[in-house]
């Protein structure tokens, strides 16, 4: 991966020449630093200010795609005129857009029961946080003693296995988190496909997508963006194998990128 700033003149040329740009970003670890508990991840005021200014650009659509619940994203950002895609795109809301994956909605009652069962099964493990996000569940273990992390996975499997065997849910992993998700053919990549189609605005060509993410769940998004010859950007200090074509090292560099986007004349 090339560092994005090292090749910025070429990337900026593509962005300036695009009829429309679809700027999409993950939230945790991308717009905000990773923190000990998810409720502590607050959007830096300077980043919020830049996003507010970008939203006003007529040929730029801004969206946030996150594993967080849609309601949580809206409460944290509080910005009008942007796309909110929660639960990895299972639920989305934005200008002229309202979407909830119907198959995922059918699983909601089961997830409520699994949430209660996980609370009980993991109650003896200090530091575990089980988060009910409506259409998905998250089991955070960042604060669990390293010697007991295996117990988290074992307890999770004991609760979820019957439903997973019935092809009703699946378990995915991220940075110090396991996620229990409906077993539907949907991910961030498919959410991006839907957004590209929605915001093509009747044009023959779809918007130029620029997507920023930092976790395993973002890889599906990177691959879709690459197929559309877009700009995929992995955010993180670690050298990892990623489908992204470019990288930035931190949320601070993401903020700097947003500032550069404001300076592009064509995006006015």
On the 0-12 / 13-18 / 19+ scale of CB atoms within 10 A, 70 is buried
Judge if pTM exceeds 0.85.
yes
The larger pLDDT score, comparing residue 218 to residue 205, is at: 218
pLDDT at 53 over 50: yes
Q: Is 187 a catalytic residue?
A: no
What confidence score (pLDDT) does residue 192 get? Answer: 97
Q: How would residue 209 be classed by pLDDT, with cut points 50, 70 and 90?
A: very high
pLDDT at 205 over 80: no
φ, ψ for residue 202 (rounded to 5)?
85, 0
Give me the mean pLDDT over the 181-186 stretch. 93
pLDDT at 44 over 50: yes
Give me the mean pLDDT over the 125-144 stretch. 94
What confidence score (pLDDT) does residue 267 get? Answer: 42
What is the rounded CA–CA span in Å between residue 143 and residue 157?
Answer: 20
What confidence score (pLDDT) does residue 35 get? Answer: 76
Q: Which residue has the tokens 């995915």?
A: 172
Q: How would residue 165 be classed by pLDDT, with cut points 50, 70 and 90?
A: low
pLDDT at 237 over 90: no
Q: How would residue 204 be classed by pLDDT, with cut points 50, 70 and 90?
A: low
- Which of 98, 66, 73, 34 is closest to 221 using CA atoms? 66
Check if the beta carbon of residue 151 is closer than 8 Å to that of residue 167.
Answer: no
Give me the mean pLDDT over the 182-189 stretch. 94
Q: How would residue 164 be classed by pLDDT, with cut points 50, 70 and 90?
A: confident
pLDDT at 169 over 90: yes
| SS3 per residue for the chain | CEEHHHHHHHHHHHHHHCCCEEEEECCECCCECCCCCHHHCCCCHHHHHHHHHHHCCCCEEEEEECCCCHHHHHHHHCCCCCEEEEHHHCEEEECCEEEECHHHHHHHHHHHHHHHHHHHHCCCCCCCEEEECCCCEEEECCCCCHHHHHHHHHHHHHHHHHHHHCCCEEEEEECCEEEEEECCCCCHHHHHHHHHHHCCCCCCCCCEEEEEECCHHHHHHHHHHHHCCCEEEEECCCCCCCCCCEEECCHHHHHHHHHHHHHCHHHC
19-38 pLDDT per residue, tens: 999 999 999 999 999 877 77
Give me the mean pLDDT over the 191-198 stretch. 95
68-124 pLDDT per residue, tens: 999 999 999 999 999 999 999 999 999 999 999 999 999 999 999 999 999 999 999
Q: Which of 26, 187, 214, 220 is catalytic?
A: 26
What confidence score (pLDDT) does residue 268 get? Answer: 42
Choose the weakest-confidence range: 170-179, 201-210, 214-223, 227-236: 201-210
What confidence score (pLDDT) does residue 202 get? Answer: 66
Over pLDDT 70: what percentage of the chain? Answer: 97
Q: Which residue has the tokens 């200014």?
A: 53
């Amino acid at each position: 991966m090339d560092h994005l700033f090292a090749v910025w003149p070429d990337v900026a040329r593509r962005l300036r020449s695009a009829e429309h740009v679809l700027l999409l970003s993950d939230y945790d670890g991308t717009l905000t630093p990773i923190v000990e508990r998810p409720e502590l991840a607050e959007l830096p005021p300077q980043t919020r200010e830049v996003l507010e200014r970008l939203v006003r650009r007529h040929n730029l659509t801004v969206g946030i795609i996150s594993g967080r619940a849609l309601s949580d994203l809206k409460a944290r950002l509080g910005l009008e005129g942007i796309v909110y895609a929660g639960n990895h795109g299972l639920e989305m809301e934005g200008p002229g857009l309202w979407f909830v994956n119907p198959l995922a909605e059918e699983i909601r009652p089961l997830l409520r029961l699994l949430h209660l069962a996980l609370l009980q099964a993991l109650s003896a493990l200090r530091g575990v946080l089980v988060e009910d996000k409506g259409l998905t569940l998250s089991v955070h273990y960042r604060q669990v003693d390293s010697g007991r992390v295996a117990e988290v996975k074992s307890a999770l499997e004991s609760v979820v296995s019957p439903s997973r065997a019935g092809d009703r849910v699946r378990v995915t992993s991220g940075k110090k988190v396991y996620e229990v998700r409906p077993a539907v053919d949907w991910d961030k990549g498919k959410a991006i496909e839907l957004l590209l189609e929605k915001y093509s605005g009747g044009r023959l060509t779809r918007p130029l997508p620029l997507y920023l993410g930092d976790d395993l769940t973002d890889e599906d998004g990177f691959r879709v963006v690459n197929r559309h010859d877009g700009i995929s950007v992995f955010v993180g200090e670690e050298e990892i194998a990623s489908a992204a074509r470019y990288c930035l090292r931190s949320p601070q560099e993401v903020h700097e990128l947003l500032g550069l986007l404001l300076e592009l004349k064509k995006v006015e």
